[in-house]
Structure 1
Amino acid sequence: MLHLCFFDSGRSGKVLVWPTDFSHWINLKVILEELHLRGHEITILVPSPSLTIDHTKIPFNVEILQLSETKETLMEELNTILYTSIFEVPSLSWWDMQVKLRVCDSAITNKELLSRLQAAKFDICVADPLSFCGELLAELLNIPFIYSLRFSYGSFIERVCGGLPTSSSYVPGSTSGLTDHMTFVQRLENWLLYAMSGVTYLYFILPEWDEYYSKVLGKPTTLCEIMGKAEMWLIRTSWDFEFPYPYLPNFEFVGGLHCKPAKPLPKELEEFVQSSGEEGVVVFTLGSMVQNLTEEKSNMIASALAQIPQKVLWRYAGKKPDTLGPNTRLYEWIPQNDLLGHPKTRAFITHCGTNGIYEAIYHGVPMVGIPMFGDQTDNIARMKAKGVAVEVDLRTMTSSDLLDALKVVINNPSYKESAMILSRIHHDQPVTPLDRAVFWIEFVMRHKGAKHLRPASHNLTWYQYHSLDVIGFLLACVAAIMFLVTKCCLFCCWKFGKTGQKKKRE
């Protein structure tokens, strides 16, 4: 028994976590719970006004980062930004431009906290690059770190900081809503998005962070340089979801790691689902970030739902719509995964968050997508291309638009067949996505990094990476040869002309 105890303790490690709120946390929490079950000690840094991370209900060590903002203030600000992003002109992320730096500073300037973290001797830091600073902490503590992410704006972080060799000719940029088969105009649009995301980061986002990181580390550096030191990038999608593109050895795809078999429904929900008979049910949710809709929108949606023969379970926390039909029930929370796995579920109306879409893929449920912000436009574009979803626009849709989309998805068997194909592909893996994610975290812990997986491109300057120095040298050689040849020809012509004139005089 003593031998087993010592052996087990030797395998366990200490994990420091720099998380991001909302669906990012939901996904990361699954990985942390599995690491915890395997005996690893987890310490998570949580901002005091965190909106979804309830530190009182997680079985990990928690360090609270005190901020002046309250949870209510952040939620009000978030709702304003979300409304602007959905119904008006999208703006730069409130988290990127305002809160993120204050959260980072609350950790970095806390000498007592840094001393405790230093004394704990962590083996690894797990961070989300959507919220900068995890990599800076890892640098200060001299420990390896890995990322867990879906995407960055325009995929700039993965391409430039991570070294991912993506081409705008067939790899759609994040938030573009394009596929891997683009027309000339779409390729132009995608190229401009790549360029715009680069300009946005290089001139509006990164300079402030570069200055901050240089000041903290006491030497000239950049955020991108520090991010490029990530040992592994755990991408929360996979090839059942993504369009194929080249990737690097230190990029691992773990999409759907949170998915699991459906559990029995609570009695009340099961009775309602069974009451639908052969028609089945439709599950409807707009995720955790959108708490309610305008009264006009909710009435328009309720009117469409009232016209289908299926029963509808709608997660909605706003005022009850006047047009709500007897076939529709409102819930502040629903067991989404268990409902999607129920045999009577016919369709899923979703805001197209990655977690929800993967649960639909896992259970083989076709979708009606209502994307609003972030990666949601990209997600529904992929599902449409794979034949498992229909898209409607929340800004412009009418009741008939939503009704028609539901009828197509439910009544056209090709959507269910395509969803089942994706489901079979997702399940046909040698290792589950969760086991794959945990393996690579433990791999980095065991070997104190994974430098052998990082490409040499991280050690090159931008002009070396694009071989501009080589091209410049070759052009200089060609120019020199052309110059010499031209000079020789001119000299020969001059010599020939002079000789000809002499002969003529003679």
Structure 2
Amino acid sequence: MSAPQRPVLFVSLPESGLLNPLLVLAGELSRRGVPDLWFATDEPRRGDVERVAEGSPVEFASLGEVLSELSAVSWEDGVYREVTQASRFRAHRAVIRQSYRPDLQAEKYRRLESVVEKVEPALMVIDCVSSFAVDLAVKRGIPFVLSVPFLPSNVLTSLNPFGPSGTPRDFPVPHSGLPFPMSSAQKFRNELFKWRTLAMFFNPAMGKVLSEDARIRKDLGLPKPNPMTRIDRAEMVLCNSVAELDFPFPVPDRMKLVGAMVPPLPEAAGADDNGADDTGVMAWLGAQSSVVYMGFGTITRLTREQVASLVEVARRLNGRHQVLWKLPEEQQHLLPPRESLPVNLRIESWLPSQLDVLAHPSVKVFFTHGGGNGFHEGLYFGKPLVVRPLWVDCYDQAVRGRAHGVSLTLDRPREMDPDDVVDKLTRVLGDPSFHERAERLGALQRAAGGRSEAADLLLSLPALA
């Protein structure tokens, strides 16, 4: 008889963009009856983990409460303004300064270490931002798979001029939002972006952080950090994209492109093939002929002026298109009086499933911040996009969507100027080529296999054989 399979341990930060693809994969393994599944993340996500078990159990392992310094959702307004400012490099720098916290990473490392000692995993599946989990897997010699919810080049391209890179030297650096190929001026900006990233670590304040990191790593018995360790030491890199959505470069064999990680649909509890759901949104969608869906993720914080601009956008689309807007409850006080809202605008603070909405044939365009999950999921369902980039990787997705003819990007994303927004939405809605190209890229993503292919690849690894 074969030896009993040892556990699979998923590890993720609590951010939706990192966590959700791993929840989908864990759910797929549960439906297949794979035993000994564990999921380690922060305590507030306990319920999300427990809900994915549809066959074999998925055990929750707590990494403690969310550390506000590491969670973009809970950053103070001043930090939010810094990381979402117009300057792409300064925003990129602000994110690094905010999130590079060796003391907090060490806290998560020690909590995960206790989990690993209890679970004794045969394999770890780690989101690509959880560097503490990669450090632990490497130190303990535990095989691991890296989960990437971004474009493949995001984790393969060096952020500094001397670092090892899996893309050509003249490839656009992550978070720059630069196109490919580039003009001479753009190539200069690209190199400058790398040099400025390197230079920030010579700042005295950052020098103190580096010294702290070196001390902590020595105490934990960890080697010096290397940004390519997570790629080079991984058994496999699971990327929720396809090559056709990135700019061309040779993808390494260990990186498996499986497209967006989408659960079985309909996803919402209570939703069925007749369009019933507990909010009535699906039934409403079924009664419409053309809907613009606006959803800007969990991080976006709109101002009163931006909210007013989006209400005006809906008003100008009245008579041609309905608008469904997912606007968090805590931001709805910024709306004008309900009686003054245009009749074609439906606002929901919560949707049972954004994926069910994007899959609906009445939705004709997705107006999004362009985060990795939303970008890929919208195109998975063949929906062209209008992108209002928020920060870091959103600019990279936006420039590729525009280059591939599946999206347009706002000229003035911070102002949310109604003229600009209506112009982009009208152009995408009125030109069939946007929809046709989005459908083609959606078909490529679906053919890549998503959660089913990812599960097959995972279960074929020697660690689980």
Partner residue, 1:117? 116
- Range with greater deviation from structure 2 (325-334 or 171-180): 171-180
Please name the residue that 1:299 is paired with: 308
Counting only pairs closer than 5 Å after superposition, residues 190-229 of structure 1 correspond to structure 2 as 190-200=190-200, 204=206, 208-217=212-221, 221-224=224-227, 227=230, 228-229=232-233
The CA deviation at 1:303 is 0.4
State the 1:360 CA deviation.
1.9
Question: CA offset at residue 86 of structure 1?
Answer: 2.5
Please provide the CA RMSD for this pair: 3.4
Deviation for aligned residue 1:87: 4.4
Aligned mates of 2:72, 2:444 — CA distance in 1: 40
SS of the residue corresponding to residue 284 of structure 1 reads strand
Deviation at 1:295, TM superposition (A): 1.0
Counterpart of 1:358 in 2: which secondary structure?
helix
Match of 1:66 among 64, 67, 72: 64
Which segments of 5 or more consecutive residues in structure 2 lack a partner in the other structure?
267-271
Q: Are residues 1:416 and 2:403 paired? A: no
Mapped to 1, the partners of 2:123 and 2:201 lie a distance apart of 27
CA displacement, residues 166-195 of structure 1 (integer Å, 9 cap, x when unaligned): 1232x2211121222211111121222233
The residue number in structure 1 matching 2:41 is: 46
Q: 1:34 aligns with which of 20, 28, 32?
A: 28
* Aligned mates of 1:106, 1:358 — CA distance in 2: 29
Write the letter of the residue equivalent to 1:251. Answer: M
1:191 and 1:162 map into 2 onto residues whose CA distance is 13
Shift of 1:305: 1.2
CA displacement at 1:374 relative to structure 2: 2.5
- Cα distance, 1:37 vs. partner? 3.0
1:22 equivalent in alignment to 2:16:
yes
Classify 1:305/1:145 alpha carbon distance in 2 versus 1 (closer, same or farther; 3 Å): same
**SS of alignment partner, residue 240 of structure 1:** helix
Cα shift at 1:372: 0.6
- Between Structure 1 and Structure 2, the one with more helix by share is 1
Corresponding residue SS for 1:400: helix
Change (3 A) 1:245 1:206: farther
- In 1, distance between residues paired with 2:360 and 2:457? 33
Cα separation, partners in 2 of 1:27 and 1:414, compared to 1, 3 Å: same
Q: Aligned with 1:214: secondary structure?
A: helix
SS at match of 1:34: helix
Any residues of structure 2 matched to 1:429-444 within 5 Å, and which?
Answer: 429=448, 432-444=449-461
Q: Could you tell me how far 1:311 is from its partner in structure 2?
A: 0.9
Q: In structure 2, what is the equivalent of residue 384 of structure 1?
A: 402
The secondary structure found in structure 1 opposite 2:360 is coil
1:273 to 285, 288, 311: 285
Aligned mates of 2:60, 2:295 — CA distance in 1: 31
Partner residue, 2:382: 364
Matched, 1:315 2:316: no
- The offset of 1:302, in angstroms, is 0.7
Measured after TM superposition, the shift of residue 197 of structure 1 is: 3.6
Q: 1:391 to 1:72 in 2, by over 3 A?
A: closer
Cα separation, partners in 2 of 1:363 and 1:154, compared to 1, 3 Å: closer
Partners in 2 of 1:26 and 1:247 — Cα distance?
24
1:144-293 to 2 correspondences below 5 Å: 144-150=143-149, 155=154, 159=158, 164-169=165-170, 171-200=171-200, 204=206, 208-217=212-221, 221-224=224-227, 227=230, 228-258=232-262, 264=273, 265-266=275-276, 268-276=280-288, 278=289, 280-290=290-300, 292-293=301-302
In structure 1, list runs of 5 or more residues that go unmatched: 1-5, 449-506
Take 1:312 and 1:286, find their aligned partners in 2: how far apart are those partners? 14
Shift of 1:330: 0.6
Which stretch of the first structure deviates more once superposed, 23-32 or 134-143? Answer: 134-143
Q: 1:95 to 1:153 in 2, by over 3 A?
A: farther
Q: TM-score, with normalisation over the residues of structure 2?
A: 0.81
- Residues matched between the structures, number: 429
Change (3 A) 1:197 1:40: farther
| CA positional deviation for 1:352 | 1.0
1:242 deviation in Å? Answer: 1.2
The equivalent residue for 2:269 is: none
1:446-502 deviations in Å (ceiling 9; x for gaps) = 378xxxxxxxxxxxxxxxxxxxxxxxxxxxxxxxxxxxxxxxxxxxxxxxxxxxxxx
Partner residue in 2 for 1:460: none
SS of the residue 1:237 aligns to: coil
Offset, 1:405: 1.1
Is 1:396 matched up with 2:405?
no
Counterpart AA for 2:325: W
Larger radius of gyration between Structure 1 and Structure 2: 1
> Aligned-pair distance for 1:55?
5.3
Q: Secondary structure at the residue paired with 1:396?
A: coil
Percent sequence identity is: 21
| CA 237–197 in structure 1, closer or farther in 2 if over 3 Å, else same | farther
The C-alpha deviation readout for 1:373-398, integer Å capped at 9, x for no partner, is 12111111111111111111321331
2:347 to 326, 330, 333: 330
- In 2, the alpha carbon distance for the partners of 1:77 and 1:115 equals 28
Shift of 1:224: 4.3
Q: CA deviation at 1:371?
A: 1.0
Deviation of the 1:316 alpha carbon: 0.5
Q: CA deviation at 1:361?
A: 1.4
Q: CA deviation at 1:285?
A: 0.5
1:81 aligns with 2:79: yes
The answer to whether the 8 A contact 1:209-1:223 is kept is no
Cα distance change on mapping 1:402 and 1:158 into 2, 3 Å: closer
Question: 2:6 is matched with which residue?
Answer: 13
Spell out, residue by residue over 1:315-335, the C-alpha distance to the aligned partner (whole angstroms, 9 max, x if none): 012223356311001101223
Q: 1:202 to 1:166 in 2, by over 3 A?
A: farther
State the Cα deviation string for residues 82-104 of structure 1 (Å, max 9, x = none).
33322465213466234x64253
1:489-500 equivalences in 2 (<5 Å): none
State the alpha-carbon separation in 2 of the partners of residues 214 and 36 from structure 1: 38
- With structure 1 as the length reference, what TM-score do the two structures score? 0.75
Query: Given residue 220 of structure 2, which amino acid in structure 1 is its aligned partner?
Result: V
User: Residue 162 and residue 190 in structure 1: after superposition, are their counterparts in 2 closer, same or farther (change >3 A)?
Assistant: closer
- In structure 1, the residue corresponding to 2:392 is in which secondary structure? coil
- Aligned pair in 2 of structure 1 residues 79, 15: CA closer, same or farther (>3 Å)? farther
2:284 aligned partner, one-letter code: F
Q: Secondary structure at the match of 2:62?
A: strand
Q: How far 1:114 sits from its partner (Å)? A: 4.1
How has the CA–CA distance of structure 1 residues 34 and 95 changed in structure 2, closer, same or farther, with 3 Å as cutoff?
Answer: farther
**Cα distance, 1:282 vs structure 2:** 1.1
The residue matched to 2:216 in structure 1 has which SS? Answer: helix
